[in-house]
């Protein structure tokens, strides 16, 4: 009986929230690569992001809980809006190879109140 991969995230905040959903019902959940990516954020892509692991026994229940949490989010407070366009990707590729040999993820993030209306597709236009 070992640990199995449930999901992976490229944003730390998403991984921590998903881990807290599983820990809230009493499951052991481990967010792999959390410390290493915090020290070397340019390796988030090559390492596959933050990997959420649970025990094999809890795997099916964990998947169901995460799907339910994704489909029925609490809509109070704020949500994290992450944006990054083609220009951001080009700059991150060039700067990553100049600085450390690996592309660096450059994205714009900001917290937005839920009362700001979203279009029907759920995404804001850039």
Residues 89 and 57 in one domain: no
From residue 32, how far is each of 4, 8, 44, 100 by CA, in Å? 11, 9, 11, 22
Q: What angle do CA 43, 33, 66 make, to 5 degrees?
A: 115
Is 48 in the same domain as 8? yes
Per-residue confidence (pLDDT) for residue 96, from 0 to 100:
77
Query: 118 pLDDT band (50/70/90 cuts)?
Result: low
pLDDT tens profile 106-115: 777 777 777 6
Is pLDDT at 125 greater than 60 in this prediction? no
Q: What is the CATH number of the domain that holds 56?
A: 3.30.70
User: Does the pLDDT at position 23 exceed 70?
Assistant: yes
Instruction: Based on the fold, state whether residues 51 and 84 are members of the same structural domain.
Output: no
The 3-state secondary structure of the chain reads CCEEEEEEECCHHHHHHHHHHHHHCCCCEEEECHHHHHHCHHHCCCCCCEEEEEEHHHHHHHHHHHHHHHHCCCCCCEEEEEECCHHHHHHHHHHHHHHCCCCCCCCEEEEEECCCCCCCCCCCCC
Question: Looking at the structure, do residues 8 and 53 belong to the same domain, yes or no?
Answer: yes
Domain that residue 109 falls in: 78-113
User: pLDDT tens-digit profile of 30-85?
Assistant: 999 988 888 888 888 888 889 999 999 999 999 999 998 888 776 666 777 777 77
Give strand pairing partners of 81. Answer: 110
Alpha-carbon gap, residue 120 to 122, rounded angstroms: 5
| Contact (CB, 8 A) for 92 and 66 | no
**φ, ψ (nearest 5 deg) of residue 51:** -105, 125
Q: How confident is the model at residue 52, as a pLDDT? A: 95
Total domains in the fold of the chain: 2
Tens digit of each residue's pLDDT (9 = 90 or more) over 83-99: 777 887 788 778 777 77
63 and 22 in a common domain = yes
Residue 120 in any domain: the answer is no
């Amino acid at each position: 009986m070992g640990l199995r991969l449930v999901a992976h995230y490229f944003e730390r905040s998403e991984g921590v929230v998903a881990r807290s959903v599983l820990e809230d019902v009493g499951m052991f959940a481990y967010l792999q690569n959390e410390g290493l990516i915090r020290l070397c954020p340019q390796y988030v892509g090559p390492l596959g992001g933050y990997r959420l692991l649970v025990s094999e026994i809890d795997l099916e229940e964990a998947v169901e809980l995460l799907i339910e949490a994704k489909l029925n989010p609490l809509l109070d407070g704020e949500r994290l809006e992450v944006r990054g366009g083609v220009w951001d990707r080009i700059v991150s590729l060039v700067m990553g190879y100049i600085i450390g040999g690996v592309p660096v993820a450059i994205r714009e993030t900001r917290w937005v109140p839920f009362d700001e209306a979203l279009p029907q597709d759920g995404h804001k236009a850039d």
